Structure 1
């Protein structure tokens, strides 16, 4: 694989469940070391797409290449290249934070599980809490530990499926800081979220998935330019990402209803 090739390449991805068509031909590229946010309403197909990218589901049509490996032809190589963090923290509350990390390192057959755990605790500001049972952690701390566990083995690509669901504002800020650290360290992040401010804060590029297709893909600045310039009365109001999202999705829905 060459570094010029995107970390994730999706072309014409389709997926249906019996009579329900979820993905209708998705195209998406994710550059190395970038954070791409995949936005969409409930049922838009975000989690289905992540499950296909992580080899948990097979696509019906199209091609998906992750870290240079086809997800259908070489799923084992894809799994070695990625880590998946789901919507709920997958941590053992009976164990301490450090013990959770050591357990995963040993399951991955890595040497030096203790030092690996200590480095990740320090990286995610959990050193002081490392000896405490996870049952005593706040939601944000559990999520940070979950992300730290996902990084054991240094996967170059990580999928975060709605990582701040159910967290309070302080917990969300803690997770945002952790995600930014990932990209700064060279990790490629594909993030699904329903929170538009989360995409604004984190993403280098934003893709909106609506009714099974990517209807727009660009930087925050590029997406804002899709709306008319702000009208100046007493103050200038620039469109937010929420304005862009609702206008684009609403326009598509109205057009499809008319047809």
Structure 2
């Protein structure tokens, strides 16, 4: 079976996972509802409503906002764990390998499918709230201030949209490799999450120590950014290699 067919198979399997698609839909609807409530509360601050009632509503919305953000973050982590572990838990991994599926191709197809699916789900559950917020800013006449504040961040830090996108993409791929290493080593068991935490702590410790070189040698901002990106790529390659080697030699 070719890598392209394996990739399509993984995408099809993930798109048929109704439980997590329903969960993503519920989170997306909750995000929209909360955004509308938050925008309504914003209007109340300038209205004739009782200030005590308004403050109570804003406080309640703040608590809901924290819970909802935690729900979004938890889902963003659980979904890749679920997709990497489901074949182990359902004994599908052994069947695919026994049927002649190349383990190396399966690994890259699975990681690629997970990356695309999680990005697509993230966009799906956040796009409408983002559009609502942008529309509200434009309605209130604060669009120019918003754009000015947004661009000033890049001006004062020497960042750019391209650099920000690259950092986000490589950072997320690095997280996927850490999750893949944990799930493959533990064969999809629930303790994979604990191993992931350990890998994440080790990765943060090593990169933190190596990052002190930028201070010792007084790197410029661009130098610090490039060095941090290089460390992320190295970490991704290392944990990707560990995942692949374990999978190739694993007794399924």
Normalized against structure 1, the TM-score is what?
0.30
More helix by share: 2
